[in-house]
Structure 1
Amino acid sequence: MSVVRPVTLVTGAAGGIGAALARRLASSHDLILSGRNVGTLEALCAEVGGSALVLDLTRPDSFESALAGVGRVSNVVHNAGVVELGAVAEQGHAVWSHTLAVNVVAPAELTRLLLPRVRAERGSVVFVNSGAGLRANAGWGSYAASKFGLKALADALREEEAGAGVRVSSVYPGRTATPMQEKVRSQEGAAYTPEAFIDPDSVAATIEFVLNAPRDATLPDVSVRPGPR
């Protein structure tokens, strides 16, 4: 008797946490991988056996047509995100609009469109948030606001979909050795030393655990912080 494998869609899959997660799930999940760098994404799909899904996260109106050919979806992992540091007094509306569009509006619309599929599978929606989704520091206003908004989206969705058997989790990684962190360190005027931060695979292992948790348990909020060195 063949086992029906879950189908897991991961955004921001071309690198960092998303790519690490794809490699972890490849042996037990069928994967739909979304990312911005098409060449890198296609190479990863060839490696792990997944299929590529090209989405422009600034154009949520394009999602419905992009998803037209997608079949089953058991789980959705919202991992894509953008960050632009700056004081509230210095950042114009374009930065705020772009950050909120990619980090909040896109996950909300993608979730809305995929919910019928996820409900049918009694699957999970995982939002990869940030420590900035729990506390806003100086210079992080636009990013933190988007991550606070992402937490609100997850919290509301969890209550709304519990009766349909859909599990909703937020994962809050601390600083992780990813290309985004390299950009942040550059914006902070500091050196990027990957070994000083959480390994992306450690965050991916946490997400894998959340997805594969026994059905009688749900993990609403999981924080991942650097361990002792």
Structure 2
Amino acid sequence: MALTHVITGAGSGIGAAVARRLHDRGDRLVLVARSAERAADLARDHPGSVTVVADLADPASLDGALADVPERVDTVIHSAGLARLGPVADLALDDWTSQLAINLVAPAELTRLLLPRVRAARGQIVFVNSGAGNFAHPHWSAYAATKHGLRALADALRAEESAHGVRVTSIYPGRTATPMQAAVHAQEGAAYDPSRFIDPASVATAIVTAIDLPRDAAMTDVSVKPGPR
């Protein structure tokens, strides 16, 4: 039986790689897009998928946007993210609030709204975190704070939802060749060579493996690091 997956960040990077993998094998996708134009692009790229227009920068917009989501959802995959770097002394208030909204508050709110559907399927929540969810380097304070918070959200949710049969997985990719990584390099003033980093398809493999794991086990915290070169 085809599974139903709700995915954020399906337009690029890791989210796009996961969406392609699941669509190609015949699963049903519900893709969250920030605008009607973006939703049209996703629908064209993934025929038969449902699109939901909601701006994760405004988590309050999620509440009224989920009418077309099926009553049973097997997986929610939180892949959208924003990274703005800088020393604490220079980060503006919006650098903090925008990253908190997209990277932490929106996943928490979308999870809350979809939990009845995920419980009905005894499904799974997957948070695409980051190596920054485990430690923070200089200039990464705001982004790392959101990812540390996302780890805490996942840990608490896992304990709370175990009785409902819901699995919760955090994926911690190292630096991955995505448009976000290119933007990070621009902020760092560094040349960007995608061949030096993890292919998004490799992270997608880890995510799909966690989803497909038999029900007698759970992959809770998965680090995906660059392999030897």
Q: TM class, shorter-chain normalised?
A: over 0.9
Tell me how far 1:37 sits from its aligned partner.
6.3
Aligned to 1:19: 16
Q: TM-score, normalised by structure 2?
A: 0.95
Q: TM-score, normalised by structure 1?
A: 0.95
Tell me how far 1:32 sits from its aligned partner.
0.8
Corresponding residue pairs, total: 226
Aligned to 1:129: 129
2:135 partner SS: coil
Aligned to 1:62: 61
| Percent of residue pairs identical | 55
Which range moves more in the overlay, 7-16 or 70-79?
70-79
After TM superposition, list the pairs within 5 Å mapping 1:180-195 onto structure 2.
180-195=180-195
Aligned to 1:42: 40
Aligned to 2:175: 175
* CA RMSD, 1 decimal: 1.3
After TM superposition, list the pairs within 5 Å mapping 1:1-229 onto structure 2.
3=1, 5-26=2-23, 27-36=25-34, 38-39=36-37, 41-49=39-47, 50-71=49-70, 72-229=72-229
In structure 1, C-alpha distance between the alignment counterparts of 2:35 and 2:194, rounded to whole Å:
22
Which range moves more in the overlay, 131-140 or 39-48?
39-48
Tell me how far 1:36 sits from its aligned partner.
3.5
In structure 2, C-alpha distance between the alignment counterparts of 1:133 and 1:158, rounded to whole Å:
17
CA contact (8 A) 1:81 1:102 kept: yes
- Equivalent AA in structure 1 for residue 125 of structure 2: V
1:82 partner SS: coil
Tell me how far 1:202 sits from its aligned partner.
0.5
1:57 partner SS: coil
In structure 2, C-alpha distance between the alignment counterparts of 1:159 and 1:116, rounded to whole Å:
16
